[in-house]
Amino acid sequence: MLSSPTVSPTAEPLDRGGIWLGPTGGDSGPTGAQEKAVALRATGLGKRYGAQVALDGVDLEVGHGELVGLLGPNGAGKSTLVKIVCGLVRPTAGRAEVCGAPAGSRAARRAIGYLAELFRFPGWSTADELLRLHQRLAGSEGGDAERAELLERVGLSEARNRPVEDMSKGMQQRLGIAQALVGGPRLLLLDEPTSALDPVGRRAVRQLLEGLRGRGVAVLLNSHLLSEVELVCDRVVIINRGRTVAAGRPADLAQRSGVEVETGSGLRRFPEAGREDTPAIVARLVAEGERVYSVREVSASLEDVYLEAVEGESS
């Protein structure tokens, strides 16, 4: 598990503790250009495992304080992309940068927090011990206060001395999120962080992510829970078979939906029409002698957009 080795004292670890915001740069510290760089930039990212193409030229940017959802069917390449950003997997084409530093470099690793898709913490370790270990790995000086704050933020204060093996799946996942936040990362990479959470836990994580956004932390969130992504993400990128098939703000993507008019002769659909076309459509129908009972702008859900984007291509 990677955490960012930053100084993150107490009350506002993310504001004060971000690696790029420290008072001195040091050898591996950020330059001014790196501070200004976007949190994540992937350009033409490609990855082959032998004959298997996992990523086939993906471009992706996440700005500071931006929450981006990375969606796609099983095997689309989402986890591969995240692992490249962490430096766990080497791309075979293109490049990825974290706050201006090449992915995998010490400076890039310092800036990220990561919760892997399939993680396993040692069963004997308590929540508090696990966070303490990650503070050491990350070089965080947040101490007791940081651990207490993180456990509280994921609703595990009561379980701080409970061994991982005595925790439910959802509790372990929440501990994983706390682990990813150790040291106050500038870019948080969460690979399906809420798959085991109940609805209350998911809402708590949504609120936590919104709080991070307010503090300028960038988040790349892999998830299959589209309704949740729609609620929390500023932007989504949908990939399929290693390529981007749709990208944009959830509301914009969902706009191409059309207008439905209930008439005396049945339901008439105008799939290409938008709200601004409605008066003309109604006027024309009335001029043609139709009786109009209701008009509805149909708004597609993110699920509709997703299914249309990946339809028939899933492996």
Does 79 sit near ligand ATP (CB under 6 A)? yes
- Cβ 62 to ligand ATP shortest distance, Å: 17
The nearest distance, CB 303 to ligand ATP, in angstroms, is 16
C-alpha of 162 from chain center: 29
Binding to ligand ATP in span 187-206, by CB under 6 A: none
Give the integer Cα–Cα distance in Å for 213 and 159.
Answer: 27
**CA dist list (Å): 92 to 17, 44, 46, 170:** 33, 10, 5, 35
CB nearer to ligand ATP: pick between 54 and 96: 54
Number of residues counted as binding Mg ion (CB under 5 A): 3
The Cα 172–Cα 285 span in angstroms is 58
Instruction: Single out the residue of 4, 8, 79, 240 in contact with Mg ion (rule: CB under 5 A).
Output: 79
- Site residues for ligand ATP, 27-46, by CB under 6 A, read none
Closest to ligand ATP by CB, 38 or 88: 88
C-alpha distance from residue 112 to each of 17, 41, 85, 207 (Å): 12, 13, 9, 20
Compute the distance between CA of residue 135 and CA of residue 6 in angstroms, rounded to an integer: 9
Q: Is 52 in the site for ligand ATP (CB under 6 A)?
A: yes
Q: Interacting stretch for Mg ion, rule CB under 5 A, among 100-108, 110-118, 125-133, 241-249? A: 110-118
Tokens of 35: 């501070």
Rounded to whole angstroms, the Cα distance separating 46 from 42 reads 10
**CB contact at 8 A, 273 and 280:** no
Question: Could you say whether residue 17 binds ligand ATP (CB under 6 A)?
Answer: no
Interaction of residue 75 with ligand ATP, rule CB under 6 A: yes
Distances (CA, A) of 4 to 101, 112, 114: 14, 6, 9
- 76 binding ligand ATP? (CB under 6 A): yes
The secondary element (H helix, E strand) that includes residue 68 is: strand 67-71
Binding partner at 96 among Mg ion, ligand ATP, none, C-beta below 5 to 8 Å by kind: none
By beta-carbon proximity to ligand ATP, the closer residue of 44 and 75 is: 75
The CA–CA distances, whole Å, from 20 to 3, 26, 113, 125, 177 equal 14, 11, 14, 31, 21
Out of 5, 77, 142, 176, point to the residue binding ligand ATP (CB under 6 A).
Answer: 77
Stretch that binds Mg ion, among 94-102, 111-119, 235-243, 248-256 (CB under 5 A): 111-119
Minimum distance from CB of 223 to Mg ion (Å)?
Answer: 10
Q: Does 91 bind ligand ATP (CB under 6 A)?
A: no
Q: Which residues bind Mg ion (CB under 5 A)?
A: 78-79, 117
Q: Which residues bind ligand ATP (CB under 6 A)?
A: 49, 52, 54, 72, 74-80, 117
